[in-house]
Amino acid sequence: MKQSSQLALVNELLELAEGIAQRAGEMLSIRPENFDINEKSSARDFATHMDHASEKLIVAEILAARCDDGIIGEEGANRESKSGITWVIDPIDGTVNYFYNLPGWNISIAAKDSQGVLIGIVYAPTLNSLWHASRGGGAFLNGRPIHVSNARVLEDSLLATGFSYDVAERVRQGEQIAALIPRVRDIRRLGAAAVDLCHVASGSLDGYFETGLKEWDLAAGGLIAREAGALVSGRKGSPAGEAMVIAAGPALHALLTEEIG
């Protein structure tokens, strides 16, 4: 594809995703009085009717604008691409926070092509924050360029992580945290993986690690973190994925990989 038409495509996808994320955010910001809940892998893992309503809105708006695109959505949307572009959607990342009326829940929308994630948007209405990035085009928070922190030692590093919905995995994660907590500035569990990755991108966290992330947790936030200068990998430099995600600036990433990778 010519450079100018690639740029036009990136701008079209970013504009579309930003508008959709904002409309989904407006809908979600009007909290329902009651929630219909459906349990997923365990009692800890659930979706509300608002997760489904958000996915429905996002999918309808994407297809109204680009009917040949593919879709992968956490709440079940699944459509093969005829255009080469596939959208990866988390309609509410941080459902538990949303349910308890805690901040940080967000709408995460990415679009990928044959070379990987091309654009990503993470919109967190409760934080007044909209992050975006495109491959090779840098990362931005509310329109301003962002960069990872330059943390170089564990002792001065503020980290975040998350806990799995799987109990056995939680026990392993607890052991890992117990070993790490005496050696770092502190560890946060904020409750939304996409925002954790974006906080690394904008330097509000020095690093982040978690096991068990799915493609929709990682797609947009992972691109935003990379474009802001983070390394985002799995264990020992393997690709980031369900087995492990470690995100931090290069110096801290090397230390974290040694510690937990």
Binding residues for Ca ion, rule: CB under 5 A, are 74, 90, 92-93, 217
SS3 at position 115 = coil
Q: How far is CA 69 from CA 179, 236, 247, in A?
A: 45, 34, 29
The reply on whether position 25 binds ligand IPD by CB under 6 A is: no
> In this chain, which of 213, 219, 246, 247 binds ligand IPD, going by CB under 6 A?
213
The residue (of 94 and 120) whose beta carbon lies closer to ligand IPD is: 94
Element housing 209 (H / E): strand 207-210
The residue (of 93 and 206) whose beta carbon lies closer to ligand IPD is: 93
The residue (of 98 and 140) whose beta carbon lies closer to Ca ion is: 98
Q: Which does 249 bind (CB under 5 to 8 A by kind): Ca ion, ligand IPD, none?
A: none
SS3 at position 232 = strand
Q: Which does 247 bind (CB under 5 to 8 A by kind): Ca ion, ligand IPD, none?
A: none
The residue (of 70 and 162) whose beta carbon lies closer to ligand IPD is: 162
The reply on whether position 75 binds ligand IPD by CB under 6 A is: no
Closest approach, Cβ 90 to ligand IPD, in A, equals: 5
The token duo for 84 is: 């080469």
Closest approach, Cβ 246 to Ca ion, in A, equals: 18
Site for ligand IPD, residues 138 to 177, rule: CB under 6 A = 162
> In this chain, which of 110, 117, 192, 220 binds ligand IPD, going by CB under 6 A?
192
Closest approach, Cβ 194 to ligand IPD, in A, equals: 6
Q: Which does 221 bind (CB under 5 to 8 A by kind): Ca ion, ligand IPD, none?
A: none
> In this chain, which of 54, 95, 126, 157 binds ligand IPD, going by CB under 6 A?
95
The reply on whether position 206 binds ligand IPD by CB under 6 A is: no
Q: Which does 55 bind (CB under 5 to 8 A by kind): ligand IPD, Ca ion, none?
A: none
